[in-house]
Amino acid sequence: MSRILMLAWIVLCVVVVAVGYVRLVPTRAADWHIPLDEQARAGTWRELPAGPDTLEQLDVIARATPRTRVLAGSLTEGRYTYITRSAIIGFPDFTTVEQQDAVVRIHARQRFGSSDLGVNAARVDGWLQALQAR
C-alpha cells in the first residue's frame, strides 16, 4: 500500500510542476510578436479585406475576450500580438493580428503541444463574426 501512496505523491508532484511551468514560464514578446510574413504557417491563419479601422475594431474585440491580454504591439505599428490562456491549466495561445494596406492577416498558434483541439480557430472565427456584426 505504501508504494501506491508514494507513486500517487510522485504523480501529483509531477502534475503540479508541469502546471506551474505552463503558468509561470516567462514569455518573451520578441519570440511571438514578429511580422506575419516571417512566421511559419503552423496554426490557424485567416486573411480578410480591411477597411481603415479594421485593426482597431479587432483590437477592441480581442481585448474583450476572456483571459486575453496584449503581449505587444500598437495601432501605429499595425500589428498586435495577444496571449490568451486556457481556463483551467492556463495554456498560452498567441494570436498576431496585422494590417498591411487593405488586408488584415491573423495567425493564432499554441505554445505547447502539437494540437490546440480547434480552440484557436474557434476564437479567431468568433472575432471575425463579432467584426462582421459591427
Q: pLDDT tens, 2-39? A: 888 999 999 999 989 988 888 888 999 999 999 998 87
Element (H, E) at 3: helix 2-24
| Contact (CB, 8 A) for 44 and 124 | yes
Burial (CB < 10 A; 0-12, 13-18, 19+), residue 95, is buried
Burial class (CB in 10 A: 0-12, 13-18, 19+), 41: exposed
CA dist 33 and 44 (Å) reads 16
- Please identify which residue in the block is written with the cell numbers 495601432: 75
Domains and CATH numbers, the chain: 28-133 (3.30.530.50)
pLDDT digits (tens, 9 = 90+) for 34-92: 999 887 788 999 999 999 999 999 999 999 999 999 999 999 999 999 999 999 889 99
